[in-house]
Amino acid sequence: MATYGCPNCGRERAQLFHHISDIPVNSCLLFGDPGAAQALPTGDIDFAFCPDCAFIFNAAWKPDRTTYSTDYEETQGFSSTFNAFQDQQARDLIERYGVFDKDIVEIGCGKGEFLTLLCELGGNRGIGYDPSFVPERRAAGSADIVFKQEYFSGHTVQDPPDLICCRMTLEHISRTRAFVRAVRRIASPQRGTIVVFQVPDVRRILDEGAFWDIYYEHCSYFSPRSLVHVFQDSGFEVLRLSSEYHDQYLTIEARPSTSTTAVSLASEGEDLIGSVGSFEKAVKRVTAQWASTVRAIAQSGGRVVLWGSGSKAVAFLSAVGDARRHIQYLVDINPHRWGKFVPGTVKQIVGPEFLTQYQPDLVIAMNPVYRQEITADLRRLGCSQAKLLALGESKSKSATMHYPTFRLVRA
């Protein structure tokens, strides 16, 4: 069986375990024209698992296929649920590390909401890097922040800050070890730079058979062990590792270190190997269940909509086969998405008010975290009769796993 080099640890023992063909190469690009949405190129996913560092990556990923620009609409900042989580995370970081009157760099800052929070709450100064930042949407009178519409890389000239944030970005980076080492280059031991990264937790994806959380842009998938490994291997001391947002995100907090540590490859690897082995069967089962649910509602004369039009919706529609023809509209609370079309299946995005007239019979939420928020909107819109289901809801749970849960050994 062919093996592949792991971009997270450099070893050559990764093997393929799951394949997906012809999915849109960008999930969050918006199109005003249906033809352009349908014409977006597709790519393949070949999931490879590294048994040495428990890293999962798309061995078929091609860097020139993905595009990040002002047309890339990724923000979750229109959700009160997400904003409450983001606000609390900013406050916790500021209090835990005394981030007051400091210099902050955020890599992959998106539309700038989190960096703005950090700077306004702590009286800090910020620099944000992201090619998808939209200057016109910057909050009026916001804090002392410079936004750069560019990628951060090993060639970026940047003075060492007091805090470096990189949230929901590393999963878009193929050469993860090289990227984290580039971050280490601007992290100063003398200054005591704190580094905070947040990524999706692949354990939940594997356990749920969450086919809706697999996108072409996400070429890298982390477990606790693979995330700890790449930071320790890149010259960081891990301070804290937590599972957040109903076990959907892993957040790692670290600082530059002059010593080298390595995470034990014991029980965590064995658990992930089992999940990897059963993933293909789980995906087939869960995909068939959702396709059957959609068909059953449609065959009885009912209407089905998806609540959420981002990456999860694009992945869901790509996977459920002919059942997708029974779904005409995607609902989203982000007004910058309304009237646009998603790539691949070319479904139109509408605002919640559209449902007042459309009156769906089944609403499928793309994330169970937002059930309460969506339920309130459905009641307000006079759609209380609609059945609300959520992807992954039966498996969702809330737990926090604080570092050092994992046994460390000195290298």
Contact 119, 147 (CB under 8 A): no
Q: What is the pLDDT confidence band of residue 178, given thresholds at 50, 70 and 90?
A: very high
Residue 1 banded pLDDT, cuts 50, 70, 90: confident
Kindly state the tokens that stand for 103: 């210099």
36: left (phi over 0), alpha (psi -120 to 50) or beta: alpha
Cα torsion 44, 47, 50, 53: sign = positive
pLDDT of 264 over the 60 cut: no
When pLDDT is cut at 50, 70 and 90, the band that residue 256 belongs to is very high
**Cα–Cα distance for residue pair 35/39, rounded to 1 Å:** 6
Asked whether residue 143 carries a pLDDT value surpassing 90, the answer given is no
Coil, strand or helix at 108 = coil
Class of domain 80-269+397-410: alpha beta
Give the pLDDT confidence score for residue 397 in this predicted structure: 41
Task: Count how many residues are written for the chain.
Answer: 411
* pLDDT score for 71: 87
Whether the predicted pLDDT of 343 surpasses 90: yes
Helix and strand totals (H; E) in the chain:
10, 18
For residue 312, give both structure tokens. 């999860």
Per-residue pLDDT, 121: 96
| Comparison of pLDDT for 259 and 194, the residue scoring more | 194
Between 42-56, 72-86, 127-141, the lowest mean confidence (pLDDT) is in 127-141
The residues, any chain, with a CB within 8 Å of residue 159's CB and separated by 6 or more, are 103, 186
**pLDDT value, residue 394:** 65
Higher pLDDT, 33 or 411: 33
Lookup: tokens for 273: 């190997």
Residue 192: closest CA among 154, 163, 165: 163
What pLDDT is attached to residue 410? 34
The alpha carbon of residue 284 and the mean position of all alpha carbons in its chain are separated, in whole angstroms, by 22
What is the per-residue pLDDT across 280-320, written as a single tens digit (0 to 9) for each? Answer: 999 999 999 999 999 999 999 999 999 999 999 999 999 99
The string of pLDDT tens digits covering residues 46-65 is 999 999 999 999 999 999 99
Q: Span 251-263, mean pLDDT? A: 79
Percent share of the chain, pLDDT over 70: 92
According to the model, what pLDDT value does residue 361 have?
98
Q: Is it the case that residue 150 has pLDDT exceeding 90? A: yes
Amino acid (one-letter) located at 303: R
Spatial contact of 363 and 388, defined as CB atoms under 8 Å apart? yes
According to the model, what pLDDT value does residue 268 have? 53
How does pLDDT run across 190-207, given as a tens digit for each residue? 999 999 999 999 999 999
Q: What architecture does CATH give domain 293-393? A: 3-Layer(aba) Sandwich (3.40)
For all residues of the chain together, what is the average pLDDT? 92
CA 333 to chain centroid: 18
Residue 145 predicted with pLDDT over 60? yes
56-58: strand order across its sheet: 15-24, 42-49, 56-58, 220-221
Provide the residue ranges of all domains of the chain, joining segments of one domain with +. Answer: 80-269+397-410, 293-393
> Beta strand pairing status for 387-390 and 362-365?
parallel
The pLDDT of 74-99, averaged and rounded, is 97
Which residues lie below 8 Å from residue 283, measured CB to CB, with a gap of 6+? 18, 209, 211
Question: Taking the model in full, what pTM does it have?
Answer: 0.93
Name residue 200's amino acid.
P
For range 264-285, the mean pLDDT: 79
Confidence of residue 140 (pLDDT cuts 50, 70, 90): low
Q: If we measure between CA atoms, which residue out of 169, 138, 124 comes closest to residue 151?
A: 169
CA distance 341 to 347: 5
